[in-house]
Structure 1
Amino acid sequence: MKALLLAGGLGTRLRPLTENLPKPMALIGNRPWLEHLILHLKSEGIADFVIAVKHYPEMIRDYLGDGTSLGVRIQYAVEETLLGTAGAIKNAQEFLDDRFLVVNADIVHQVAIQPLLDFHLEHGGAVTIGLTEVKDPSQYGVVEQDPFGQIVRFVEKPSKEEAPSNRINAGIYVMEKTVLEWIPKGEEVSIERETFPLLIEKGMRVYGKVIDGYWLDMGTKERYRKVHWDLLERKFRLPLGGKEEENGIWIGENTKIGSGVLFVPPVLIGNRVKIGDRSVIGPYAVIGDHCEIGQNVRCSETIMWNRCRVHNATQLKNCIFGYDLELGSKHILYEAVMNRWAGGLQG
């Protein structure tokens, strides 16, 4: 089955990290999330991909190419204007088979796809929506289902007391191509707010199934941090680069560590990193490839992308730094989110 990855969102809530970067290319554990997603779906038996792109599409193309480096095949459907989730699917129509998988590529997850497909084949409807259960449904669109899993209606952001369930759209769908007949071409259309309710109204039979596995929308800085802390705690079992030197301390290749450096787990250090004498790294620190950390630096609860440079005696706590950022000596930063774009994603 072919998978369509929706990667055209602007990622406004993650700015400045996504100011000049497609949101699915934000780093998770020192690698772009979109790369992790493709490799996971490949492990689930999917080898053909279509990526719907809009925001800085050349960055995704330059990094992934035709998919050869990952052992898959990739085609691209480019949006000239913002088309929304349903419009992006319609725009990719020429690349899609009679039945296909759709994945919102800026939601972090690691779920089994086959049970969703099996359920779809069993009920024979037009769409199966992967659902996830949340503690507080009041911030989401909630589904109401009959005993057989068919979705009766969507309720947008209900109060806890009025919510028909705690099940929400997880952004993963198995779809029949006939659904595309109900989506106008070249228009901005939301699949959640417009297409799915229309299909239900027309009797097209839309079903939902709760997915098993990790799921989190990384759309805010707080959730982006949580994804990383879950990763370091191994609640989210995404493969980590480097070697686990001690329990909860992963060190990449060709990394140079000065004398008296203390790692407080959990910590993930990328490849070709330099860390100066007597620095304390962790707990909860993710340092990207080619970073340089000076002497006597304190770095905790902080995510640092590739090629950052931190001078001596700087203290960092609960920060997120994008590519190529340089910090002077003796700075004290708390909850800073900063980005300085200076080049491509490679390396």
Structure 2
Amino acid sequence: MKAVILAGGEGRRLRPYTMSVAKPMVPILNKPILEYSIDLLSSYGIKDILITTCYKSETIKDYFGNGKRFNVNITYLEERSPLGTAGGIFLARHRLREPFLVLSGDAFTNIPIDKVIEFHYEKRAVMTVVSKEVENPKEYGICHTDETRKLVDFIEKPEEWVGNEVNTGVYMLDPRLLDRYAHIGAKDFGQDFIPRLLLNNEEVYVFKTSAYWRDIGNPEEYKCARDDLMRGHFSPPSFKKGFHHSKGLMEPFITRLQVACPNGKKPMVLAKLLETVPSSSSQKEIVFDHRDGGRTKIISDPKRGFIIYSNADRRNLAREFARYYGKKIKIWQKV
């Protein structure tokens, strides 16, 4: 089975994190969001992955290449101009000749892919939409179903609403839909494609999940996702074995390092620090959570430049973290 990951969006709402990288390349614990999606698919045996790209596509291609390093096969669907969430898939319909999965590149989730596939075939659906209940559905598409879970109404980003079961941007599609509704140009699943399927009474069903899912669409949601991972509320496939978050809460070794920096150079250094996407940040304090465990806090001091605190469960690792960011700050002052 093939899967398509939608990674062409510009991510304006997620600025400044997306000023230098594509939105799906924004990292959580020094690992791009997109890598979590690839790990999810790979954990269910889906190795043939197509990725739609447009905005800063080189940041995706340079990191993932052909996918060999991640034990998958990646094909890129380059969009010269943005084609919406569905436009790029229609252009690639010759590559999709059997039922396939679609994931949003900015979705942070551990949805049970096997259950979605089973549901799709059991319902004999032409399209399965994965849904999730949320507290505030205003920014999403609301799904209304009948007793069989067939989609009967879909309202995209409503001002007023009834119900809180929303579209997660995870789908399974029958490839015949791509021929039946062949289209060239920009097209969006929520605004165009799903409403048209409903108008034609197509067999569209909704798989409701209780698994973790968060749309990393703005800085607030992004920070919540990082906190969820740190607190153990989300377990990505690659972390399921041997990952115990509780260990990271009490690192015993701390290294303190001070780096001089003229106040005139600080805006440049702060901008560079933000480009690396910290775990949490403000103009005075920036915190990085490290994938290998540990944390670095960088404080901007008006009189003393930057003060770096790094902690880890090994003294040498704490020193390594502090020295790494100390060198970066010195280099960025000279840019």
SS of 1:46 mapped into structure 2: coil
- Local SS of the residue matching 1:111: coil
Deviation of the 1:139 alpha carbon: 3.3
Match of 2:289 among 286, 291, 304: 286
Deviation at 1:223, TM superposition (A): 0.8
- Deviation, 1:46, is 0.8
Equivalent in the alignment of 2:93: 93
The equivalent residue for 1:258 is 255
Residue 41 to residue 325, structure 1, CA distance change in 2 (3 Å): farther
What SS does the aligned partner of 1:28 have?
coil
How many angstroms apart in 1 are the aligned matches of 2:95 and 2:156? 32
Q: Are positions 1:233 and 2:231 aligned together?
A: yes
Q: CA 1:324–1:146 in structure 2 vs 1: closer, same or farther (change >3 Å)?
A: farther
Shift in Å at residue 121 of structure 1?
Answer: 0.3
Question: In the alignment, residue 76 of structure 1 is paired with which amino acid?
Answer: Y
Shift of 1:111: 1.1
Which structure is richer in relative contact order (CA contacts within 8 A, separation 6 or more)?
Answer: 2
Counterparts of 1:1-347 in structure 2, within 5 Å, are 1-158=1-158, 162-163=161-162, 165-238=163-236, 239=238, 247-249=247-249, 257-258=254-255, 286-287=289-290, 312-313=306-307
Preserved contact between residue 93 and residue 178 of structure 2 (Cα < 8 Å): yes
Cα distance in structure 2, aligned partners of 1:167 and 1:2: 27
Check whether the contact 1:243–1:250 (CA below 8 A) recurs between aligned residues: no
8 Å contact from structure 2 (residues 110, 211) kept in 1: yes
SS in 2 for 1:89: helix
Question: Partners in 2 of 1:292 and 1:226 — Cα distance?
Answer: 17
The Cα offsets for residues 53-102 of structure 1, whole Å up to 9 and x where unpaired, read as 11121221111111111111111111111111110211222222321001
| Secondary structure in structure 1 of the residue aligned to 2:13 | helix
Aligned-pair distance for 1:204?
A: 1.7
SS of 1:169's equivalent? strand
Taking structure 1 as reference, are residues 57 and 144 closer, same or farther at Cα in structure 2, changes over 3 Å only?
same
Query: For 1:237-256, what per-residue CA distance to the aligned partner results, in whole angstroms no more than 9, with x for missing partners?
Result: 135699879733487xxxx9
CA distance in 2 between partners of 1:250 and 1:72 (Å): 36
Within 1, Cα distance between the matches of 2:7 and 2:31? 16
Q: Structure 2 CA distance, aligned partners of 1:325 and 1:183? A: 55
Uncovered stretches (5+) of structure 1, i.e. residues with no partner:
261-281, 300-309, 316-322, 329-338, 343-347
Task: Tell me the distance in 1 between the aligned counterparts of 2:117 and 2:308.
Answer: 51
RMSD over aligned CA atoms reads: 3.6
Higher helix share: 2
Q: Deviations over 1:249-297 (max 9, x none)?
A: 487xxxx95379xxxxxxxxxxxxxxxxxxxxx99752579x9969xx5
Quickly say closer, same or farther: Cα 1:246–1:36, change in 2 above 3 A.
Answer: closer
Q: Are the counterparts in 1 of residues 232 and 245 from structure 2 also a CA contact under 8 Å? A: no
Partner of 2:271 in structure 1? none
Cα distance 1:12–1:183, how it changes in 2: closer, same or farther (>3 A)? farther
Aligned-partner Cα distance in 2 for 1:68–1:139: 36
Look up the equivalent residue of 2:171 and give its one-letter code.
Y
Spell out, residue by residue over 1:103-150, the C-alpha distance to the aligned partner (whole angstroms, 9 max, x if none).
111111111111111111011121000001112223322111110011
Partners of 2:287 and 2:181 in 1: how far apart? 45
Q: Indicate how the Cα distance of structure 1 residues 119 and 229 shifts in structure 2: closer, same or farther if over 3 A, else same.
A: same
Structure 1 residues 314, 71: closer, same or farther in 2, change over 3 A? closer
- Contact 2:288/2:296 (CA < 8 Å) preserved in 1? no
Alignment length (residue pairs):
284
CA distance 1:324–1:61, shift in 2 (3 Å): farther
User: Aligned AA for 1:29?
Assistant: L
Query: Which residue does 2:277 correspond to in 1?
Result: none
| One-letter amino acid of the counterpart of residue 227, structure 1 | A
Counterpart code for 2:232: R
CA contact (8 A) 1:216 1:227 kept: yes
Aligned 8 A contact 1:52 1:92 in 2: no
Cα separation, 2, equivalents of 1:67 and 1:233:
30
Q: Which amino acid in 2 is paired with 1:148?
A: T
- TM-score of the aligned structures, taking structure 1 as reference length: 0.72
- State the identity as a percent: 31
Distance of 1:158 and 1:118 partners within structure 2 = 31
Aligned to 1:332: none
Distance change >3 Å, CA 68–CA 327, structure 1 → 2: closer
Query: 2: distance between equivalents of 1:127 and 1:62?
Result: 33
Whole-angstrom CA distance in 1 between matches of 2:56 and 2:286: 34
How does the TM-score come out when normalised to structure 2? 0.74
* Closer, same or farther: CA 96–298 of 1 in aligned 2, 3 Å: same
1:278 alignment counterpart: none
Q: 8 Å contact 1:137–1:159 — kept in the other structure?
A: no
User: What secondary structure sits across from 1:81 in the alignment?
Assistant: coil
